[in-house]
Each structure stands twice: as C-alpha cells, then as structure tokens.
Amino acid sequence: MIDFSTKKGFICDMDGVIYHGNKVLPGVVEFIDWLYRENKKFLFLTNNSGYTPRELQQKLARMGLDVSEEHFYTSALATAAFLKEQFPGCSVYAIGEAGLFNALYDAGITMNDVNPDYVVIGEGKSYSLDTLTKATNLVLKGAKLIGANSDLTGPIEHGIAPACRALIAPIELATGKQAYFCGKPNPLMMRTGLNILGCHSAEAVMVGDRMDTDVVSGMECGMSTVLVLSGVSNRETINTFAYRPTMVLDGVGDIAAIADAQRK
C-alpha cells in the first residue's frame, strides 16, 4: 500500500492513463483536481514523441482539462537532451512529427540528409518506404541509430497503432545495427522527470498503464509504482513479468479516493 498523502511528486503516463484517443478516462478530472488541491508536484511524462508540450496542453484543454505547459515532458525532449549532452551541435536525419523536430531544433541540433551524425526515429505520418530507405542507407554509411522510445504499440480509440520500436525494426534488420532508445524505460528519462519535479525517488510515484515501460522504469529508479488497468496491461499480463507494481488500480481516480480515505 502506498500512502499517497505523504508523497510529494507524481509522474504519470498519458496514453491509457489520462485519455484514449480524444476521450478522457474515468476519474481523471478528480485526480487532477486532487493534485492541485493537495499541492502535489506532478509531471505528465509520455513516450509519444509526436507532440510538443504546448500541443499536449492544448489537447487536454480541448478535453476540458486545465493543465499548464510546464507539466509535460516527452520522449522527444529526452532524445534531444541526450543528443545535446553526447554531441553538442550534431546533425541528424529525423523521421517524426513536430514534437521531435521542435525538440531537436531547440537543442541546437541541425537537420542533415546527406551525412548526419545520427538517424533519429520517432512516431510520425511521414514514415514511408522512401524515408525508411534513406534512413537505412545513412546508417550503413556510419550514422548512429537513435529511437525516441522503445514502445512497440500505442493505444488508440479503436485498438492499437505501431509505435517507435516497430517502426525502427526494419532499419535494424536491414543494417544489422541496434538502436539506442531514449524514452521509457530508459532511466535517464525518469531521472530527468524527478529533477524537473525536484523530488527524490522515495518521495515520488510513477503511474502508468504498461508493465514493460512505466512500471519497470519507476521501479528501477526507486519510486513507488501504480499500474492502472485503463490501458495496455491487465491483471493477466502482470503475472508474465518477474517484477510487480507496488499497487494495481482500475484508474487514476482511485488514487484521489484512497488518499482522501488515508487522511481520515
């Protein structure tokens, strides 16, 4: 059992935790109200590299949720930060959406489709046989292969969509090169989230819907973990992993209800 009333920080996944597609999940309004009411530090941390923080803020606003821009951190930002630390001023050939390109530009990274230092792959509608072929040949010429995240699939309103790990797999197979992934469960992304919140891992909770990214990354960083059953993982799949979350709840609304009960 987690004493939510004593925890200072909450890092929450988004897809499958806060919404499915363009639909807010049950209990989310109550959970966000509780975070503000109890003056908790919180961060919505997503492996989706396609959106900028501003776009995520506006997406939630269209759903009736008022969350300011500084409460979002994405795998695109984590990827840009990693490249800036590893090779300041490097160039990349990138496949992705605005979230990835904006993060790279803001980190001082330039686009280069001739002889880039890195090939960077995120989710995106621009992914095609032409861009895949270009990326493959650039890696064969020496560019290092980077993935924004290692998710194979992501939840959508009517099923699942192939995610970054699935999109980068053809390049790995064609080149024999293995990608380095910057998003969850890479602990670099979780530690950055904790630094943004200004919390020690023992003071924070990771809330997510996936055992293979959210729960394992929170656990390996020393955080309490909550698996919510509103997204990818379910009670049956929990038993296929060698580790377990600290708590299993139906949705994030249960956190507010349990915390209120703990205070009484």
Q: Is 212 a catalytic residue?
A: no
Q: How far, in Å, CA of 25 to CA of 23, rounded?
A: 6
Backbone angles phi, psi at 3, to 5 degrees: -85, 90
Q: Is 130 a catalytic residue?
A: no
Torsion 85-91-95-99 (CA) sign: positive
- Given the residues 13, 117, 212, 214, select the one marked as catalytic: 13
Number of Cβ atoms within 10 Å of the Cβ of 248: 17
Q: How far from chain centre, in Å, is Cα 228?
A: 15
Q: How far is CA 105 from CA 80, 89, 92, 174, in A?
A: 8, 10, 10, 28
Three-state SS at 186: coil
- Residue with structure tokens 């890479």? 186
Q: How far from chain centre, in Å, is Cα 40?
A: 20
Q: How far, in Å, CA of 80 to CA of 101, rounded?
A: 9
CB 255 within 8 A of CB 226: yes
- Residue 75's identity, in one-letter code, is S
Q: How far, in Å, CA of 205 to CA of 246, rounded?
A: 10
Three-state SS at 40: coil
* Encoded tokens for 211: 């055992």
Residues with active-site annotation: 13, 15
